[in-house]
Structures are given as C-alpha cells and as structure tokens.
Structure 1
Amino acid sequence: MTPYTLERLGAVEAVRDLAHRYTHLIDEGRLEEVAELFTRAVYGQCDGDGTPVGSVRDSDPAGVLAACRSFIQMHGAPPRPRTKHVVTNLRVEVADDCRTATSLSYFTVLQATESLPLQPILSGRYFDAFAEIDGEWQFTQRLTCIDLVGDLTSHARRDL
C-alpha cells in the first residue's frame, strides 16, 4: 500500500468525487452526462465477487445511455427518476504510482413518487476502477452487483 502522501490523498479524493458525481447526475436525470462518465470504462453488472455477467459495455457511452434510458422511468417535469442514490462504505485502493485506483462501495437507492411512498428499492455494491488520464481522473470500470431488490414498479422499465 502506498504511504499516505499528498498525491495519494489527492487520488482518493478524486475517486470519491467521481463516485459521488455519478449519484448526483443520475438522481437529477442527466443521463447524457452519466454516460459520458464511462467513455473509457467497462460498464455492466457483476456477480458478488465482481466478475462481469451478461452484456458489458466497453468504452461505449452511447450504449450506457441507451441502457439507462431503457431501464430508468422518469417522472414529472423536468423528468427525473425521483431517486436518491446513497453511496456508503467506500474503500479506495490507490496503486503505488498514484495513477490508478480501485474502489468497492455499497449503494442504496431510495425512491418516492406520487404513487410510491419513500422506500429503499435497490441495494448492492459498485466494483469500480479509475485512472488518471491527461491529468483528469476517469472511470475505467463500473460493475454493479445488485444484492437486494425492493419495489421497482416506479423505477424500472424492464426486469433487471
């Protein structure tokens, strides 16, 4: 493990910021910006060990956008999913050169709509990887493991 240098701490904060930027954008319904976060990333679902399952997109923001649009129901004007993604237990591992990192975090998605009272609808883990490219930290992987599923009738357009 890299010692706690300013460079390492800067990398950890950049990774945390990216992980949280995703949640803000998705909850605001800014799906085009969500997709752009994964321009250079593998994106898809995984099993409990972080191994990809099903179709995985690789450096395909248009595919990520299409997947988001085909899955997430929007409500109201402006259209939003009426969710709050809460990321917790974020653990970041920074490589010795402080240019790449991985993280594992928990997420819980809360939702409330006109017909659905506030409740958790999804919970799971994100298996993420990052790299500093041209001076900017970027996702290189986001694999999602769904551990618990609640009432998705106001959120999902299709089955998981």
Structure 2
Amino acid sequence: MTPAILAWGACGRQRWLWMRPPPTSDPRSPEVSCQVKGNKRQNRYWDSHAMSNSATEIANLLYRYSELFDSGALKETAALFRQARIKVRYSDEPIDDAGLLEVWNTYVMIYPCGTPRTKHLVTNPIIEIDEEAGTATARSYYTVYQVTDDLPLQLIASGRYHDRFERADAGWHFVYRDYSLLDFTGDISAHLKVPLNIQAELQA
C-alpha cells in the first residue's frame, strides 16, 4: 500500500498527500529502464565522438603529407613516418623515414621557388578504426598535378596509399605505408631527376 501523510491545505482544510514510493532497483521499472537507456545513449555518444575525432586526426595526417611535400618540406614530410616502415617499388625490404628522405632527395626535382611545383590530391579515404586497440587503417587515392615554366598544368601520376596507424599519448601516427601502388603516369620528366621507365613497367 502506498503511504500517505496528513497535510493542511488552503483555508485550513485537511487533505491526504500520497507519497511516491522510493525508486526500485527492478530493471523492469520505468525509472531504472530510463536510466539504463540514458547511459547507453551517452556511451554511444562518447564512442561515436571519439571515433569522429580519430577519423579527423587520421585524415589530417593524409592531408598533412600532401601539404608538406608540395611545399618542398621533404624533411618534415619524411618525419611523419618516423615511427613507420614504408614499402617502395624498388626495394624488397621496407625502408624507414631516413631512407624515404634519401629517395626523395635522389629523385624529386625541386625548383628555384623551393617546391616541386606539384599538387598531391588525396581523396576517397576509407578509414577503419579500432578505438579499443588504438589501431587504424586507411586506403586512399592520390592524384598528382604539376605545372612548370615549360610544362602546362597537367596530371602526371595517380595511385593509391595503403596506410596503418597507431595511437600514442601524442595522438595518431603512421606505422606503415605501401608507397608502391602507382597505377597511372603521365609526363613525369619535370618531376623526377632520374628517368624511370615506370610506364613500361605498369604495362608489363
């Protein structure tokens, strides 16, 4: 039976006030059910919020690579892979950031403006994140445009990046990149110092 108390109302009239029963721990009760549902909604919110932040941070790493490379900051670009290993076309073993910088310094033409006169567009990123493990993968396309005093603006290369990432205290970072997935080339004579018969290899 629900308890009640006797109280004084308006004009001195007495009335009974029925007391609301205390909350129950029965999971079938409306109060507990609403609380459980609220907690689940809150957990889903924070999980999706964390994944959204991670996806943005990882996408920014992909875009930061293009920004640094196209500005001619090859040393800073290679530093993005300080904790990574990189698969390249002309080596059976993956290389580190120092090896990657050596490759760029050997092959990439830098113009008097201090840049390679390129624009790397990274598109279609498919980012898959395991928040609990602190790991992620990304597959993306890249398209490279170039223009020089002698070369009109044109597409010179297109391919794919397959990347792996891990999360540390400082945030997400590269741990692996497959740098060998070049699919198409145009006129790369104004981009590379050393001629490479890449097109013949792609058609082989």
Taking structure 1 as the reference length, the TM-score comes to 0.87
Residue 49 of structure 1: aligned partner: none
User: Aligned runs of 1:128-139 on 2, under 5 Å?
Assistant: 128-139=163-174
Residue 71 of structure 2: aligned partner: 28
Mapped partners of 1:100, 1:137: distance in 2: 9
Larger Rg: 2
Of Structure 1 and Structure 2, the greater helix share is in 2
Question: How many percent of aligned residue pairs carry the same amino acid?
Answer: 35
Mapped partners of 1:53, 1:95: distance in 2: 30
In the alignment, does 2:138 pair up with 1:103? yes
Conserved? CA contact 1:7–1:98, under 8 Å:
no
User: Aligned runs of 1:69-148 on 2, under 5 Å?
Assistant: 69-77=105-113, 79-97=114-132, 99-144=134-179, 145-148=181-184
For structure 1, which runs of at least 5 residues remain unmatched after alignment?
Answer: 47-51
Conserved? CA contact 1:27–1:85, under 8 Å:
yes
Higher relative contact order (CA 8 A, sep 6+): 1
Mapped partners of 2:163, 2:134: distance in 1: 14
Residue 94 of structure 2: aligned partner: 56
Conserved? CA contact 2:159–2:183, under 8 Å:
yes
Mapped partners of 1:56, 1:150: distance in 2: 26
Displacement of 1:81 in angstroms is 0.2
In the alignment, does 2:61 pair up with 1:18? yes
Conserved? CA contact 1:8–1:98, under 8 Å:
no
Task: Provide the alpha-carbon RMSD of the alignment.
Answer: 1.8
Conserved? CA contact 1:100–1:130, under 8 Å:
yes
Displacement of 1:43 in angstroms is 1.1
Mapped partners of 2:164, 2:155: distance in 1: 26
Conserved? CA contact 2:109–2:190, under 8 Å:
yes
Displacement of 1:76 in angstroms is 1.7
Mapped partners of 1:152, 1:90: distance in 2: 25
Moved more, 8-17 or 134-143: 134-143
Of Structure 1 and Structure 2, the greater strand share is in 1
* Paired AA for residue 58 in structure 2: V
For structure 2, which runs of at least 5 residues remain unmatched after alignment?
Answer: 1-43, 199-204
Displacement of 1:54 in angstroms is 3.7
Residue 38 of structure 1: aligned partner: 81
Displacement of 1:119 in angstroms is 0.3
Find the residue that maps to 2:72 and give its secondary structure: coil
Structure 1 runs (4+) deviating above 6 angstroms are: none
Find the residue that maps to 2:94 and give its secondary structure: strand
Find the residue that maps to 1:147 and give its secondary structure: strand
